Amino acid sequence: MAMEKTTLFVLLLNVLVFSASLVSSEQSHVSAVGDPGMQRDGLRVAFEAWNFCNEVGQEAPHMGSPRAADCFDLSGSLTHKVTEADNRLGVGDSFPGLKPENINNTDLYAIEKELYLGSLCEVADTPRPWQFWMVMLKNGNYDTRSGLCPQDGKKVPPFSPGRFPCFGQGCMNQPILCHQWTQLKDGTMQGGFSGTYDLDSGCGGEHDGVSYYEVVWEKKVNVGSWVFKHKLRTSKKYPWLMLYLRADATKGFSGGYHYDTRGMLKTLPKSPNFKVRLSLDIKKGGGAKSQFYLLDIGSCWKNNGAPCDGDVLTDVTRYSEMIINPETPAWCSPKGLVNCPPFHITPDNKKIYRNDTANFPYSAYHYYCAPGNAQHLEQPVSTCDPYSNPHAQEIVQLLPHPTWGEYGYPTKKGDGWVGDARTWELDVGGLSSRLYFYQDPGTPPAKRIWTSIDSGTEIFVSDKDEEAEWTLSDFDVILTQSGTNLMNKAERKK
């Protein structure tokens, strides 16, 4: 009897183990982010502000270096890991780990401050620790007389204004940052970052004619996802503003950056083996010029397919964005081939050239621009703005279209827009593996490993004051089967 019982038990155990392994290989749900679905009560969130060329330039008076964080653990009450003094650190102030030679350099100081805040917020995890979600705010003004931004990575002298918005000296300033430290009240945690670029304004909230940004995070203890509530308002002086919530690499370069960063992607997702899940509820669109990115993915590789190494002359930032504002037109068209990628690849891997007017999905593309340092471009081509990143960049901007339906992306204008809140599960890996990106002829294809994945809007030179308002929650980056296997292999090697 006893013998039989044991046998039965072993049998049962075998069945259990067998079915458990079936589950894990069939719907392997391995997350690439440290906080899958934004469910962790102990939040990790940071703030960074960039000028037009993704640097600091000059700090705003009394604001310190434009990097800050709000990170805490919850056990009965909140224990904050970052202090007000940490967040106020600015050039000239020392902190643990700072290289003394960078203490007076506003750009290099901000990089190191981010690493320092990362060290305070870091959470141990496998396969490696992670630090925070990143709120990124960028001012699109460019004072061409400042000579501040390199051209495709090369230093260039000042030039005459005209092409870029700028109200005059100081237009590239950093914002005022107001911080509401996260607090726990009646079972709900809430905190936020907000402020304005108008330095004669303060922390008093929104005013007509004054630029404004706000990100408020809120969560019920033990329940669901953090909800990140965003607002972004442009003004005459600041008509081009960007506000994103990013999951960045936890080390190395993240998209648009040529220094070591900190972030949330404890595993870097690689095309085609990942998906992104997020809930997005857009309350106000931000006007006709609001290029709202349901999703923006960023990476960096060289034109010969090699990974970036920090050499700004040959590194190239690569972006692809799905714009869901129904007012955003397709600049790519049979008569505007200059704005289209050279070809499109269908989900069943058919290549369609842009001169194939019967088949090319022109309205699936808002705009394509090639890296300014590419040597073998197919004509006609437009090259990307050479000043707005530390090195050359390439951008593939998509619009809702039936061709993207296979990947769970929006298929028609208005999908996911105001009044159509949704939870998306996007096969970003599948789609991004089939996008055109430039490479020198005969070079081995770049590994498409994404170092930044974000959502938010870029109000691209509004002609009147505009406001966008949206909430983001449930964000996750899910490694699909092969991605999991790859990771397991990497784990086994250790």
Ligand X SMILES: *[C@@H]1O[C@H](CO)[C@@H](O)[C@H](O)[C@H]1NC(C)=O
**Residues making contact with ligand X (CB under 6 A):** 100-101, 103-104, 353, 355, 378
Amino acid letter, 447: K
Cβ proximity to ligand X, 101 vs 186, nearer residue: 101
CB 370 within 8 Å of CB 319: no
> Minimum CB separation from ligand X for residue 437, in Å?
16
Do you find a cis peptide bond into 150, omega within 30 degrees of 0? no
* CA 315 – CA 304 distance, rounded (Å): 10
Distance CA 439, CA 446 (A): 8
Minimal distance in Å, beta carbon 59 to ligand X?
14
DSSP letter (8 states) at residue 104: T
**Tally of CB atoms within 10 A around 167:** 13
**Closest CB to ligand X among 28 and 102?**
102
Minimum CB–partner distance for residue 102 and ligand X (Å): 8
Q: How far is the CB of 237 from ligand X (least distance, A)?
A: 31
Largest CA distance in the chain: 94
Given the complex with ligand X, which of 175 and 341 has the nearer CB atom? 341
CA distances 336 to 362, 379, 397, 426, Å, are 9, 12, 15, 29
The CB-of-438 to ligand X minimum distance in angstroms stands at 14
Pick the closer one to ligand X by CB: 99 or 447: 99
Rounded distance between C-alpha atoms, residue 198 and residue 190, angstroms? 26
In the bound state with ligand X, the residue whose beta carbon lies nearer, of 74 and 103, is 103
Nearer to ligand X by Cβ, of 306 and 352: the residue is 352
Provide the token pair at 279. 């809930």
**Smallest separation (angstroms) from ligand X to the CB of 352:** 10
Residue closest to 280 by CA, chosen among 106, 426, 440? 426
Burial of residue 375 (CB within 10 Å: 0-12, 13-18, 19+) is exposed
Tallying the residues shown for the chain, one arrives at: 494
Q: Minimum distance from CB of 123 to ligand X (Å)?
A: 33
The nearest distance, CB 380 to ligand X, in angstroms, is: 11
Least gap, CB of 97 to ligand X (angstroms): 15
Q: Which of 355, 488 has the CB closer to ligand X?
A: 355
Contact between 373 and 153 (Cβ < 8 Å): yes
Query: What are the φ and ψ backbone dihedral angles of 232, each rounded to 5 degrees?
Result: -145, 130
Helices of type H across 47-90: 84-88
- DSSP structure class, residue 310: S
User: Smallest distance from the beta carbon of 101 to ligand X, in angstroms?
Assistant: 5
If the CB atoms of residues 4 and 101 are measured against ligand X, the closer one turns out to be 101
For ligand X, give the closer residue by CB, 100 or 419.
Answer: 100
Phi, psi of 457 (to 5 degrees): -125, 155
Cis-peptide, bond into residue 380, ω within 30° of zero: yes
- The dihedral sign for the CA sequence 120, 266, 389, 135: negative
Q: What are the Cα distances from residue 315, in Å, to 300, 394, 450, 455?
A: 7, 11, 15, 24
Distance between first and last Cα of the chain: 46
Shortest reach from residue 349's CB to ligand X, in Å: 17
What are the C-alpha distances in Å from 73 to residues 34, 40, 78, 122, 475?
14, 10, 6, 11, 20
Judged by beta carbon, residue 112 or residue 458, the one nearer ligand X is 112
Structure tokens at 422: 């949704």
Nearer to ligand X, 260 or 378 (CB): 378
User: How far apart are CB 105 and ligand X at their closest, in Å?
Assistant: 8
Phi–psi pair at 388, nearest 5 degrees: -85, 5
